[in-house]
C-alpha cells in the first residue's frame, strides 16, 4: 500500500474494487489510514474484526452496524468507534443508493 507524505487530493487516490458491490479509496500515512468506502444498497459486510480501533463517520445512506451484541442504524453525520478486536458486521439499509462512509485506523508504534 502506497503512503503519502505532504499534500494530495481525494481524486488522485485510486479506487479499489473489492467486489462488484464494494469499493474503497485508501489514504495511508506511516502510522494511520483513512478509508472511503462505497457500499451498494442492500449489501451485507461479513462479520469481521480489526486489531486496531476504528472510527467510522457516515457520509451518505443508512448502514446497520452490529458491534458485539449491540445493533444500531446509522445515517449521515453519525459516528461509530469500534474497539480493536471487537467483531462487527454492516448492512447497507439504503434501498436505492450507495452508502458512503469513512473509517480511520491508527497503528501503535510501540
Residue 32 pLDDT level (bands cut at 50, 70, 90) = confident
Count of CA atoms in the C-beta half-sphere (13 A) of 67: 16
In this predicted structure, the answer to whether residue 110 has a pLDDT above a threshold of 60 is no
Q: For the domain that residue 82 is a member of, what is the CATH number?
A: 2.60.120.10
pTM of the model: 0.80
Could you tell me if residue 25 is inside a domain?
A: yes
In a domain, 4, yes or no: no
Taking only the tens place, the pLDDT of each residue in 47-103 is: 888 888 888 888 888 888 888 889 999 999 999 988 888 888 888 887 767 777 777
> What is the count of structural domains for the chain?
1
Report which of 6, 32, 28, 2 is spatially closest to residue 109, judged by C-alpha positions.
32
104 versus 80: which is more confidently predicted? Answer: 80
Q: Would you say residue 46 lies in a domain?
A: yes
Amino acid at each position: 500500500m502506497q503512503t503519502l507524505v505532504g499534500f494530495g487530493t481525494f481524486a488522485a487516490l485510486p479506487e479499489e474494487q473489492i467486489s462488484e458491490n464494494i469499493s474503497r479509496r485508501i489514504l495511508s500515512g506511516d502510522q494511520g489510514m483513512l478509508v472511503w468506502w462505497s457500499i451498494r444498497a442492500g449489501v451485507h459486510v461479513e462479520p469481521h474484526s480489526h486489531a486496531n480501533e476504528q472510527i467510522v463517520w457516515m457520509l451518505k445512506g443508512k448502514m446497520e452496524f452490529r458491534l458485539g451484541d449491540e445493533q444500531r442504524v446509522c445515517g449521515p453525520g453519525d459516528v461509530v468507534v469500534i474497539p480493536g478486536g471487537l467483531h462487527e458486521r454492516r448492512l447497507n439499509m439504503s434501498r436505492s443508493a450507495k452508502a458512503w462512509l469513512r473509517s480511520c485506523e491508527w497503528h501503535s508504534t510501540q
